[in-house]
Chains A and B, each alone.
Chain A
Amino acid sequence: MVTPNVSESPATQSTTEHEVLSPGAGGAQMQTVPVAEASAIRRFLLSRGNSAIADKGFHWLMVICALSIFGIVLLIAYELLQRSQLAWSKFGLGFFFSVFTDPDTHLPSYWDPVNGHFSALPFLYGTVLSSFLALLFAVPLVIGTAVFLTEMCPQRLRGPLAFLTELLAAIPSVIYGLWAVFVLVPILRENVNPILVKTLGWTTLFNDDNPTGLGYMSSGIILAVMILPIISSLTREVMSAVPGSQREAVLALGATRWEMIRMGVLRNARIGIVGAVILGLGRALGETMAVTMVIGNSTDLPVSLLKSHSLLANGSSMASVIANQFSEASDDLHLSALMEIGLALFVVTIIVNALARMLVWMVTRGTPAQRN
């Protein structure tokens, strides 16, 4: 708020600026004449003090630190662009969808460091599939949890339960991975996958050609657990941003609680919920360690129209192939191809996050919009 450097701005302007920028501070009386006077005095004091130079220096130091955030994003983009030049010039856009033929076996091949063929198609597929599965599992659970926590839960339970779900966010990715490898995957392998194959095998989505229990399905489940907290805390935020009058209005018409939630809360919060889900998607797309540990790390694409497209197959995601092969990348082209995958991941997550932030802002900023 304190803007000593714009010393020529008239006092009246300063007054209006103050009114706009002090959200809800102390009501109306505080924001009238006294503030304008205070600003005038402040300017007087600032202009005659010998601290003007120190103040200016401090201001610019803060500006530089803030600008460094831009700098970081640009630096990451520059480094990745530069290092992926080689792969980009060799494969162009085809890097993301081309299929090569193995010279020895004449089978389709995608990622062949030995012969210098690189196509990111299997990893795009792995990332999209595992993230989609994660959202499929997580979204219904999150909406249920958020509804329970904001609308139904007794006040006494609300704090601890919200804390527990937020604790999920504090668990490091590698611990999720550890748990998945030693607990989740064996359960899936022994108990769940056989049932899925038996009952849903006819859909060809569950072929039991993978005895390890690793694969897209396992990574989808662990991703779902990992993105639950972020979606859930944001969903709760947008649901609590729905004004109470909406709820009361629907209840006053004789609605049951569920009808109130459906018509009064969910309908008003839907844009924000979509934003929260997209934000969770951004997390899922870039999640590395847990996925690397359970996805199976095959660089093949287990999809062909005739054979199978099993969800239980081994695969790789964009992040997991980087984590796995980066330190082994022997030649420049291989490294460059991995860098290009990183660049693609960077661009995609930026777009997804920007989109999500805008949607969430539209809702949470929408309520206090009258203020601005």
Chain B
Amino acid sequence: MRTGQDSLRSKYRALTDGAATGVAILSTLLVIVPLIAIFIYLIIKGASSLSINFFTQIPKPVGEEGGGMANAIVGSAILLSIGSLIGIPIGIAGGIFLAEFGRGSKLANAIRFTADVLNGVPSIVMGIAIYSLIVIPAHNFSGYSGGVALGIMMIPTVCRTTEEMLLMVPHSVREAALALGVPNWRSVLSITLKTASPGVITGCMLAFARVAGETAPLIFTAFGNSNWTVNPNEAMAALPLQIYVYALSPYDEWHKLAWAGSLVLIVLIVAAVSLVRYVTSRGVLKGAS
């Protein structure tokens, strides 16, 4: 009697265990499926509409054959350069403060927390804040304002990863530098930061990849432009913006261009992320392989 109950119970437990395993595997598959579906669609639809024109021509009016996104690609490059010029130095400096000067202090904890929270602020909010800060006073949409919006979005990510990487640098390295009479600022920049550079670069690439696909902060700042421009004082096209506009248009040709643009964008981003992954797998500190 007793043994019967026991074996029933252990059977039930084994069954639950098996069911839980099955559910876990199933949910992992369900998570992977949309990813694979998105990639397959991007490759099939994107590759079939990709051509040389895409990279060399600017958008053409509806109905005309051809047309590309050369202006959007260049626009994205300019916007991202402005963004990186703002976001990366400030982010790295913030990270240096958190890791080298403020470690454990209340101020550093507050800044770290604020950076994490800023990371979660929706990009559209960033967009309208920059609109109100730069676009309204200047009375025109501009590449600069878009770049600033992207740069601000990069700061928290760069700052936090820099901090984490600097924390991994052993103290002996810093002390060796100081013992040789190297000034502190020099020691931080050429010794500590340099030792952590692969990791810091990784963080910058991640931040870059993240803002490269941002559309929401650009709608009201860079605004988009169907003409060729490299002047950041004018409204400027960007790849994600162009994809958004084309995807919502009713024209098939534009839909195709949107798919092609998405493929280009995702290839750039995945390349950046994979590079990061490759670099980090080889060690985040210089000399540690």
Contacts and interface: CB of A to CB of B under 8 A. Distances in A.
Contacts of A345: 122, 124-125
Secondary structure dominating the interface of B: helix
A41 B179 CA distance: 8
Contacts of B122: 285-288, 319, 345-346, 349
Contact of B125 (A70, A181, A183, A346): A346
B58 interface: no
Contact of A261 (B20, B35, B262): B20
Contacts of B244: 174, 177, 289, 293
A17 B104 CA distance: 9
Contacts of B115: 69
A165 B97 CA distance: 32
A327 interface: yes
Contacts of A282: 120
A354 B270 contact: no
Contacts of A148: 24-25, 27-28
Interface in B1-49: 13-14, 16-17, 19-21, 23-28, 30-32, 34-35, 37-38, 41-42, 45
Given A69-B118, A149-B28, A256 B13 contact: yes
A342 B216 CA distance: 12
A22 B171 contact: yes
A176 B34 CA distance: 10
A136 interface: no
Between B27, B45, B243, the greatest number of chain A beta carbons within 10 A of the residue's beta carbon is seen for B27
**Chain A interface residue bracket vs B:** 35 or more
B100 A1 contact: yes
Contact of B31 (A38, A173, A228): A228
A161 B24 contact: no
A306 interface: no
A170 to B, nearest CB: 5
Interface string A68-79: 111011011001
A2 B184 contact: yes
A339 interface: yes
A179 interface: yes
A11 interface: no
A50 to B, nearest CB: 9
B152 A349 contact: no
B240 A174 contact: yes
Nearest to B114: A69
A172 B150 CA distance: 14
A2 B132 contact: no
Interface in A154-209: 161, 163-168, 170-179, 181-183
A286 B243 contact: no
A249 interface: no
Contacts of B131: 326
Contact of B159 (A69, A178, A228, A349): A69
Contacts of B213: 171-175
Interface stretch (A86-94, A97-105, A139-147, A238-246): A139-147
A10 B115 CA distance: 33
Contact of A21 (B37, B89, B103): B103
A18 B172 CA distance: 12
A83 interface: yes
A175 B114 contact: no
Contact of B128 (A25, A326, A356): A326
Given A4-B184, A141-B27, A172 B14 contact: no
B21 A342 contact: no
Interface stretch (B67-75, B185-193, B195-203, B226-234): B185-193
A267 interface: no
Nearest to A70: B114
Interface stretch (A58-66, A108-116, A117-125, A307-315): A58-66
Contacts of A20: 104
Interface residues of B, number: 101
A70 B111 contact: yes
Interface string B80-113: 0000000001100110111011111001101101
A75 B129 contact: yes
Given A42-B178, A54-B183, A174-B213, A79 B133 contact: yes
Given A25-B171, A175-B243, A167 B270 contact: yes
Contacts of B175: 38, 42
A167 B215 contact: no
Given A67-B111, A148-B25, A179-B38, A339 B128 contact: yes
B27 A164 contact: no
B269 interface: yes
Nearest to A165: B31
B170 interface: yes
A283 interface: yes
Contact of A46 (B37, B184, B248): B184
Residue from B21, B102, B110 having most chain A Cβ neighbours under 10 A: B21
Nearest to B33: A225
A303 interface: no
Q: Which 5 A-B pairs have the closest CB atoms?
A: A172-B213, A286-B122, A144-B27, A51-B183, A65-B93
Interface of A: 1-4, 17-18, 20-23, 25-26, 30, 35, 38, 41-42, 45-46, 49, 51, 54-55, 57-59, 61-63, 65-70, 72-73, 75-76, 79-80, 82-83, 140-145, 147-149, 151-153, 161, 163-168, 170-179, 181-183, 225, 228, 232, 256-259, 261, 279, 282-283, 285-289, 293, 319, 322-323, 326-327, 338-339, 342, 345-346, 349-350, 352-354, 356-357
25 contacts: A3-B101, A41-B179, A54-B183, A58-B184, A58-B185, A62-B100, A66-B107, A73-B117, A79-B129, A141-B30, A148-B28, A164-B32, A173-B213, A175-B262, A179-B42, A228-B31, A259-B16, A282-B120, A322-B124, A323-B124, A326-B219, A327-B220, A339-B128, A342-B124, A349-B122
Given A144-B23, A171-B38, A342-B124, 9 more contacts: A69-B156, A82-B132, A140-B27, A167-B273, A172-B269, A174-B243, A174-B247, A175-B262, A352-B120
